[in-house]
Structure 1
Amino acid sequence: MGLLRVIKKEDHNSAKIVQILNTNKQIKFVSLMGVDLGGNATDEKIPVELFKKDIDDFLYRGIQTDGSSVELHEIATLNNAKVNLLPDLDVNWYIDYNTELTDYETNLPVGTLKIPSFLIHNDKKVCSRGILQRATNNLENTLIDLLKKYPNLLNNIDINSVDDIEKINITSATELEFWVSTPEDKADLDKLYVSQSLKEQYWKKTQGTIRSALERTLIILQELGVEPEMGHKEVGGIASSISIDGKTNHAMEQLEIDWKYSSAIQTADNEIVIRDIVEEVFKSFGLDVTFKAKPLNRVAGSGEHTHIGISAKLKDGTVKNLFSPKCMNSDFMSEIGYGALMGILKNYEVLNPFVTDSNDALNRLVPGFEAPVCIVTSLGKTYEVPSRNRSVLIGLIRDIDNPLATRFELRAPNPLSNTYLVLASIYQAAVDGIKAVAVSNLDSKELEKEISKEAGETSFYLEKDRKYRDEENVFEYYTQDEREKLFGKSPATVYENMLNLDKYIEKVEVLKDNDVFTDDIINSFKVGAIERWMMELKNRVIQDNMDIIRGCKKMHTIDEMDALDEVVYNDIDNIKHELMKDTLIRKSLFSQIIEALDNNELELASQLQLVMKAKMELLQREYIQYKKNIF
């Protein structure tokens, strides 16, 4: 008999929970998992006997915690820090096992019941989970109201009347990419770059301990009920070696795991649990895992493509996709589909801060590497052939023979994006677009022309000077200046991205529709993101760059040198000094950034960060070429 991995939401009543815990003695602790605005999940250890004794209090009144332990800037303040954790009874609960500690009574690993919970301050749900809950409720309720008021929205969907609808289903799924390596191994960027360019690792067979860890992870996910659909090698990585005892040596590989769609909140919960499982399983096999968006320069970063769908369950038991048209051969989408997609595209400037809120995330979003930086979509060149344009921000995924499969794929998120807030902002933007389409009374053919308009053409909803659909590879077809003119200029630093929440006032109002996001929450998120950016830039990014610079040492000797070696290294040395070395008459770039941060000159620090990044990339390129010329 396998370990109990999940307690389904149908069993969330006091008597049933106590019965399950009494039957599974290896579960020794309970942890209420709230997710703050920074995406951090709380984890505490409550003895299971205490939980069972006061179970009704725990389930319906929650527990109190100190607001200083969670990221709720300017909400949970020193003079008003009380925050409650209240269990969510409408999602699955998972059991997290400590494989390094065995329960002496059952001889099984010690387990902790993880209960996803809301963070409540002044009787309001101020956490990521609460925001997503409000966003899904807003989308469901608004859709029903619009369908009643504007029945024309159903003209191109195989539903006769809104009265036939029993429930709106909002579904999502994410794809988790990550890098795996053997401890202490250093990356050979040249080998990784060449292997990636040749696509030598993509979809190749996993071997040794990496194969075992991946398969073990998929087995546990099946036991959890999240229904994994696939695990495979991604494009990044180099071939590892297998020792005579079967162990993997010198591994540096990128993997991906996909699982079946679920409700929005369950999807976000699953992602947190799955990241923990991946990390623990691979660690048990002696492997390191990183979910960083861009762990290595010049090599593919890790994305977490996020899929969004909306369907309706009818009273006769059938399910209809609200994005799919009646005839898949003659339309890309329904009117609701066009509205949702246009809403996401038009309002993306205020969605982007929630999608991309860290230095690491922005490092991934550079032209090339199939990383989306342009606010543009692809529908497909014909109705019969689905689009596979990987250069766009958000794509339409469709299967002409399966209308239920129609959905959107947002390609910008990464494994450490706060999926709760990403989905919540997407849904708010989708609502805005669907409202506009409903009022316009345009049919699907007219809406196809609208989303396909050229820059300079007017639209009932989309911005005049922007282009929103392109079937070309936008990185190869356009220059950078052309991309910025057509699709807008992407923020290059966290500070620039957060300024969008001040710059685009009308679009921020879309987030605030029906109090899903509030001024306090948006401000708290922005303050937290900027504080993390400042701290990371000063104490991590610059420190990491210092280590790289110290590693760029002179390698040639007098006996084996050519004049070229001396010239090239002198250039490298000049860059090193410019970046890092203070003198009596000049401050280094690092010192200038630190001084700007200390003086709260954030715009200057942001500009200098971009200069630093460009010079660090130049330094690393030149040093690689320099080393290649040394015997």
Structure 2
Amino acid sequence: MTTGNLADEADGLTEAEEAVLEEIEEENVKFVRLQFTDITGTVKNVSIPAGQVEKAFKEGIWFDGSSIEGFVRIQESDMRLEPDPETFAVLPWRTDDNAASARLICDVANTDGTPFEGGPRQVLKSVIERAESMGYEISIGPEPEFFLFEKDEHGKATTNPHDSGGYFDLAPKDLASDVRREIIFTLEDMGFEIEASHHEVAEGQHEINFKYDDALGTADNIATFRAVVRAVAEQHDLHATFMPKPIGEINGSGMHSHISLFDEDGNAFADDDDEFNLSELAYNFMGGVLNHAQAFTAVTNPTVNSYKRLVPGYEAPVYIAWSDVNRSALIRVPDAAGTSARFEIRSPDPSCNPYLAYAAVISAGLEGIENDADPGDPVREDIYEFDDEKREEYGIETLPPNLGAAVDALEEDEVITEALGDHVSEKFAEAKNADYADYKTHVSSWEEEKYLEKF
């Protein structure tokens, strides 16, 4: 089948699928990338000619699941990609003949057509279904940060920042303002609504905020955002990284996430009569998040390097507490009311798999609602200044100090492992334990410089 008259030839498709075929024809799309993520959050894709999109909608596209980290074994490798028509977007880069490519984000199915329990997107959809059964829709607004680094003469990434700017700086210190602008235009071409962008605290560090969406849409957007940032950076001969702490002794990159729940009456987190404009439901959800923070940290902060960011002194949260003014706490409540009432979880970093990270956090919050969890009183003092005795007096616990401890906490928490499912919990812990084992046996340049001649 050719791309001409795709919509006319479509049979048995949904209205959304037919709209995709029409746009393919209108935009002169020649190839479509079918995207999905593995358990670590790495985006994978299969490219198909535009003429095969109708077949993809009707029958799915088969692929070898045993080649994808954390999916299935070699003896059960056949799996199917099922594209979600709501995620269709034309990529902004065209060929010389004005032909375009597009992408569709896919769910993963087993050979019998049932959803694959190890698919990260399916894990999040299952948690969303649980929330919907309780009468709620989840809204999430992320704030992903990243670094732009120069490349060396061989085209390999360095840790030399592209500029010397600081928080909210302007040009000439913020040399990357043009790069950020191009990233924003590219994202807008793909349907994003950008709310703000600015230089972050560290040299070479940036933040671009896009409008909140439902939980699944936000996770999809984060996966797309990371791909676009890297692609635009490459066009400027730069390397963009979402590594949480690429340089020691300076601020790392986080992905603060603003969360609220909506029901048939509006924002279920809102209560204008409360000091912090939050409802009892919001406090229960918050209590659940705090109760399970140690367990979901393995998912929201999934690399060895993540724990180089989660240390006192660099504006990253370490302490399991909440506050309206205190950025040393895990949860901050912004000064917002009505439809904007929400709270901000400050621990996630942009290396996480957004589908699994949000599934874990939401599940913790829903469990808090079901069990009337109490988040305790806000802590308005700087917890970084507390000694152990004072933290014990306030009942403040800390996030896990390393990936190994985080995985241990995850495996002991039935609420989070149940939300992730047996398959993902097992494969995720297996992969992260392997990473941590490798890390523990590695001898760093710091150790060589510190001890080689001394001892």
The answer, yes or no, to whether TM exceeds 0.5 is yes
* Local SS of the residue matching 2:319: coil
Write the mapping of 1:199-348 to structure 2, written as runs, cut at 5 A.
Answer: 201-207=166-172, 210-237=176-203, 253-314=204-265, 320-328=266-274, 330=275, 332-348=277-293
Give the Å deviation of 1:11. Answer: 8.7
Report Cα offsets for 1:354-402 as digits up to 9, x if no partner: 1121111111111110111111111xxxxxxxx2311011122232xx4
User: Match of 1:394, as an amino acid?
Assistant: I
Ranges in structure 2 where 5+ consecutive residues have no aligned partner: 1-12
Write the mapping of 1:73-152 to structure 2, written as runs, cut at 5 A.
Answer: 76-89=72-85, 91-98=86-93, 102-104=95-97, 106=98, 111-121=100-110, 123-125=114-116, 126-142=118-134, 144=135
Distance (whole Å) between structure 1 residues aligned to residue 27 and residue 454 of structure 2: 62
What does residue 391 of structure 1 align with? 328
What does residue 374 of structure 1 align with? 319
Give the Å deviation of 1:472. Answer: 1.0
* Local SS of the residue matching 1:307: strand
**Shift in CA distance, 178/430, structure 1 to aligned 2, threshold 3 Å:** same
Report Cα offsets for 1:206-245 as digits up to 9, x if no partner: 34752211111122222222111111111111xxxxxxxx
Distance (whole Å) between structure 2 residues aligned to residue 404 and residue 95 of structure 1: 32
Give 1:525's match in structure 2, choosing from 428, 447, 454.
Answer: 428
**Shift in CA distance, 325/227, structure 1 to aligned 2, threshold 3 Å:** same
Give 1:31's match in structure 2, choosing from 30, 33, 36.
Answer: 33
Distance (whole Å) between structure 1 residues aligned to residue 430 and residue 210 of structure 2: 34
* Local SS of the residue matching 1:451: coil
What does residue 317 of structure 1 align with? none
User: Match of 2:61, as an amino acid?
Assistant: I
Contact 1:429 1:511 in 2 (8 A): no
Ranges in structure 1 where 5+ consecutive residues have no aligned partner: 1-9, 145-167, 238-252, 315-319, 379-386, 438-446, 454-468, 553-571, 580-631
| Percent identity between the two aligned chains | 24
Distance (whole Å) between structure 1 residues aligned to residue 104 and residue 439 of structure 2: 31
Contact 1:210 1:282 in 2 (8 A): no
User: Match of 1:306, as an amino acid?
Assistant: S
What does residue 359 of structure 1 align with? 304
* Local SS of the residue matching 2:320: coil
User: Match of 1:390, as an amino acid?
Assistant: R
**1:576 aligned onto 2:421:** no
Report Cα offsets for 1:120-164 as digits up to 9, x if no partner: 23633321110111111101212x3xxxxxxxxxxxxxxxxxxxx
Deviating beyond 4 angstroms after TM superposition, the runs of 4 or more aligned structure 1 residues are 185-189, 535-538
Distance (whole Å) between structure 1 residues aligned to residue 15 and residue 68 of structure 2: 26
Distance (whole Å) between structure 2 residues aligned to residue 18 and residue 88 of structure 1: 13
User: Match of 1:312, as an amino acid?
Assistant: D
**1:66 aligned onto 2:3:** no
What does residue 565 of structure 1 align with? none
The higher-RCO structure (CA 8 Å, 6+ apart) is 2
User: Match of 2:115, as an amino acid?
Assistant: K
Give the Å deviation of 1:482. Answer: 4.7
Cα RMSD of the aligned pairs, angstroms, is 2.8
**TM-score if structure 1 supplies the norm length?**
0.64
Report Cα offsets for 1:218-276 as digits up to 9, x if no partner: 22222222111111111111xxxxxxxxxxxxxxx211111110111111111111112
What does residue 43 of structure 2 align with? 41
**Shift in CA distance, 481/524, structure 1 to aligned 2, threshold 3 Å:** farther
Give the Å deviation of 1:411. Answer: 0.7
What does residue 180 of structure 1 align with? 148
User: Match of 1:203, as an amino acid?
Assistant: F
**Shift in CA distance, 224/135, structure 1 to aligned 2, threshold 3 Å:** same
Structure with higher helix content: 1
Which has the larger Rg?
1
Give 1:18's match in structure 2, choosing from 14, 21, 30.
Answer: 21
Contact 2:288 2:369 in 1 (8 A): yes
Write the mapping of 1:548-567 to structure 2, written as runs, cut at 5 A.
Answer: none
Report Cα offsets for 1:319-351 as digits up to 9, x if no partner: x211111425x5642111111000111122221
Give the Å deviation of 1:186. Answer: 6.5
Contact 1:62 1:84 in 2 (8 A): yes
Distance (whole Å) between structure 2 residues aligned to residue 341 and residue 406 of structure 1: 13
Distance (whole Å) between structure 2 residues aligned to residue 177 and residue 524 of structure 1: 27
**Shift in CA distance, 83/534, structure 1 to aligned 2, threshold 3 Å:** farther
Contact 1:374 1:483 in 2 (8 A): no
Give the Å deviation of 1:488. Answer: 2.6
Distance (whole Å) between structure 2 residues aligned to residue 372 and residue 309 of structure 1: 20
Moved more, 478-487 or 366-375: 478-487
**Shift in CA distance, 172/188, structure 1 to aligned 2, threshold 3 Å:** closer
